[in-house]
Amino acid sequence: MNAPTGRLDSQLTLPQPYLLFLGDTTEAGYAKTAFGLADWAADRCVGEWAIGGCTVTTGLSRLSPAEARAAGARSLVIGVANQGGIIGDSWVAVLVEAMEAGLDIVSGLHVRLTSIPALADAARRTGQRLIDVRTPPPSIPIGNGRKRSGKRLLTVGTDCALGKKYTALALHRAFAERGIDADFRATGQTGIMIAGGGMPMDAVVSDFEAGAAEMLSPDAPADHWDLIEGQGSIFNPAYAAVSLGLLHGSQPDVFVVCHDPTRTVILGMESFALPSIEEVIDLTIRLGSRTNPAIRCGGVSLNTSSYDADAAAALMAAEAARLGLPVADPIRGGAAFAALVENCLA
Amino acid sequence: MNAPTGRLDSQLTLPQPYLLFLGDTTEAGYAKTAFGLADWAADRCVGEWAIGGCTVTTGLSRLSPAEARAAGARSLVIGVANQGGIIGDSWVAVLVEAMEAGLDIVSGLHVRLTSIPALADAARRTGQRLIDVRTPPPSIPIGNGRKRSGKRLLTVGTDCALGKKYTALALHRAFAERGIDADFRATGQTGIMIAGGGMPMDAVVSDFEAGAAEMLSPDAPADHWDLIEGQGSIFNPAYAAVSLGLLHGSQPDVFVVCHDPTRTVILGMESFALPSIEEVIDLTIRLGSRTNPAIRCGGVSLNTSSYDADAAAALMAAEAARLGLPVADPIRGGAAFAALVENCLA
């Protein structure tokens, strides 16, 4: 991943490389952040660490905080969540030890690190930082709508939690493999940890939402691409404000619609039908053209994890024929994904 | 104005009646908040107060903080803004005196009252409150999209600052005159001071924007109306996130489009054309139908302050014929405004 271009001082930036902390986790499902980092930022993770009882591993070397620091680590990332998003007493001792070894602490949990007295004390004593990736940077400007140089792609969706981050990361990797100058622009906590920076769009005060998105993808060379992680959905009755501010401020040239074909209603809101892919394309163009009249749909990213290979291929082919657009599952890759990448770049 | 119905504890609520503070203002334009309160909440203002050099008056009696307290006042409202939105040293002494007399202090300025040490000290000493109406209440929930009982009207606009608050207030007054059970629901600082409570929508974290709007207009009797003050515009590249969260969370049955016929571009963004009234109607219905499929346009509120009476009447008649909807200027009132009110209630 390239270093972010410009206005870096105004964005969140995280000290890398990382030591991944797994706590005392026994369920892999609670370690999604650690697995995401091991998958997408392995070159910036020196190892993992845990405490007694942990049965989960990312496959990286086990290193104590001191060993990790000696290997170049600059921060310990809390790579697990537990129910309630809290930090147990048994974790606090490890986090203090990490600060004493010279590591900053990075967290995406709901609880603020600085609200835990033992951590705040240790930070003062050691001079290490406590970084909550849910906290937006100060001094976000009001949006101005000015057209910026360079090219931008935004992942959007028929709903939340169906592959917008993964799709943006996969497209970034594919662009880079083709030798294209590109940045992944993160808008959520896990994405920010992977990228080493970004903007927690859902935590920004609404008056500044579009301005925060403008700040996230600054002016760039004409052939540079920002691959921007989408959030929520313009059809989601709870989160559409986040999605529209991000769409306006990102002023994307291209968007990719992410969809889970097994989902029929909005997650957690059974009385709201999922919009169709066509509805998302149509409304995204209508709203997005306000800040970029040239906006177009590059294709569809389908989450086919509950289909076997043949059924997935048949579904993607049928959807591509129906929509007249490339349809691919980035996890499956292959010719379909290559076609999606090419159409985004066309 | 009726007391807000339900969930009151979760909204901002201001101690009334007020003493209006004019500072040392010499320009009426800086006293817009005081004039708004004198116009729309005169029955809840016991008087005004100023310091040496002030040449502006709302026409209310001059009362010292102690006299105002004796007359029933519960808070002093800073009714003026100066350039930069700061609080000068000469004001601080008056605000401390007001707290010593038993008044809370209410401010809509950008500077936080608690950030001024002399005020924070006086608040601790006297037990009076420092209330910033730009600060949202804690514990705003995520939106849930659930259909609420009662009826709702939202004012929307082709842009910012063209009469959405005034229109909602005028409609509230007209509804009340017809004996209809109705509340004005404020979403901006001046509106909140007038109503004595509300939700500063532009200061809410974007993830909670729709939830904040849901909280603002809770379940109500079937024939009760909430008249909700709009914010921004879904076409404004800076503020559309605020407007869409408010639209989704308000789930309005009826909306009224506010427009200034002399404006051709977005305020402060000369490269963005103002949308037409028809475009605003069409997109508001499309987006608003997500949470209220029965949404409809009740008519248009035209700011005709730069026209003479004949030209204004001709313009409103022509627009009404063109759009097939009632078009009125609430400040001029008359038959056109009565027709707008009737169509909203139809």
| From-to residues of CATH 3.40.50.720 in chain B | 8-132
Partner residue facing A241 (CB), from B209, B238, B269: B209
- Interchain proximity A269–B239, CB inside 8 Å: no
Interface of B with A (CB under 8 A): 142-146, 201-207, 209-211, 234-235, 237-242, 244-245, 248-249, 266, 269, 271-272, 283, 286-287, 290-291
More confident residue, B137 or B76: B76
CA dist A108 and A32 (Å) reads 12
The pLDDT of residue A9 is 43
Q: Which residues of B touch A287 (CB under 8 A)?
A: 240
Q: Which residues of B touch A204 (CB under 8 A)?
A: 205-206
Q: Which two tokens stand for residue B129?
A: 């409150």
The pLDDT of residue B85 is 67
**Does pLDDT of B4 surpass 80?**
no
Residue type at A93? A
B320-345 per-position pLDDT tens digit: 999 999 999 999 999 999 999 999 99
CATH classification code of A151-345: 3.40.50.300
Q: Which residues of A touch B286 (CB under 8 A)?
A: 283
Per-chain mean pLDDT for chain B: 94
Cα A296–A154–A28 angle (5° rounding)?
140
Going from the C-alpha of A292 to that of each of A122, A233, B176, B318, the distances in angstroms are 48, 19, 44, 33
Taking CA–CA distances from A244, the nearest residue in chain B reads B241
| Residue recorded with tokens 């959030």 | A231
Work out the average pLDDT over B286-299: 98
- Interchain proximity A240–B204, CB inside 8 Å: no
Taking CA–CA distances from B202, the nearest residue in chain A reads A207
Q: Which residues of A touch B238 (CB under 8 A)?
A: 142-145, 207, 210-211
CA dist B165 and B163 (Å) reads 6
- b/e per residue B38-54 (b: at least 16 CB within 10 A): bebbeebbbbbbbeeeb
The pLDDT of residue B241 is 98
Strand A225-228 relative to strand A151-157, pairing: parallel
Q: Is A255 helix (H, G, I), strand (E, B) or coil?
A: strand
The complex's ipTM works out to: 0.93
B94-116 per-position pLDDT tens digit: 999 999 999 999 999 888 999 99
B134-158 per-position pLDDT tens digit: 999 988 999 999 999 999 999 999 9
Q: Which two tokens stand for residue A164?
A: 């917008």
Whether cis (ω within 30° of 0) applies to the bond prior to A200 is no
- Interchain proximity A244–B244, CB inside 8 Å: yes
The pLDDT of residue A110 is 81
- Interchain proximity B269–A145, CB inside 8 Å: yes
Cα B245–B297–B304 angle (5° rounding)?
95
Q: Which residues of A touch B143 (CB under 8 A)?
A: 237-239
The pLDDT of residue B119 is 97
Q: Which two tokens stand for residue B217?
A: 């207009």
Please choose, from the candidates A32, A55, A165, A38, the residue with its C-alpha nearest in 3D space to the C-alpha of residue A109: A32
| From-to residues of CATH 3.40.50.300 in chain A | 151-345
Class of domain B8-132: alpha beta
Q: Is A247 helix (H, G, I), strand (E, B) or coil?
A: helix
A contact test, residue of B144, B148, B206 with most A CBs within 10 A: B206
End-to-end CA distance of chain A: 22
Interface of A with B (CB under 8 A): 142-146, 201-207, 209-211, 234-235, 237-242, 244-245, 248-249, 266, 269, 271-272, 283, 286-287, 290-291
**Does pLDDT of B63 surpass 80?**
yes
Question: Residue-wise pLDDT tens for chain A (346 aa)?
Answer: 333 333 334 568 899 999 999 999 998 888 989 999 999 999 999 999 999 899 999 999 999 999 999 999 999 999 997 666 678 888 999 999 999 999 999 999 888 999 999 999 999 999 999 999 999 998 899 999 999 999 999 999 999 999 999 999 999 999 999 999 999 999 999 999 999 999 999 999 999 999 999 999 999 999 999 999 999 999 999 999 999 999 999 999 999 999 999 999 999 999 999 999 999 999 999 999 999 999 999 999 999 999 999 999 999 999 999 999 999 999 999 999 999 999 999 9
Strands of the A130-132 sheet, one edge to the other: A45-49, A18-21, A75-78, A104-107, A130-132
Q: Which residues of A touch B211 (CB under 8 A)?
A: 238
Within chain A, what is the greatest distance between any pair of CA atoms? 62
B contact test, residue of A147, A148, A206 with most B CBs within 10 A: A206
3 state SS for chain B = CCCCCCCHHHCEECCCCEEEECCCCCCHHHHHHHHHHHHHCHHHEEEEECCCCCCCCCCCCECCHHHHHHCCCCEEEECCCCCCCCCCHHHHHHHHHHHHCCCEEEECCCCCHHHCHHHHHHHHHHCCCEEECCCCCCCCCCCCCCCCCCEEEEEEECCCCCCHHHHHHHHHHHHHHCCCCEEEECCCHHHHHHHCEECCHHHCEHHHHHHHHHHHCCCCCCCCEEEECCCCCCCCCCCHHHHHHHHHHHCCCEEEEEECCCCCEECCEEEEECCCHHHHHHHHHHHHCCCCCCCEEEEEEECCCCCCHHHHHHHHHHHHHHHCCCEECCCCCHHHHHHHHHHHHC
Q: Which residues of B touch A202 (CB under 8 A)?
A: 205-207
CB pairs under 8 A between A and B: 116
Nearest-CA distance B247 → chain A (Å) = 10
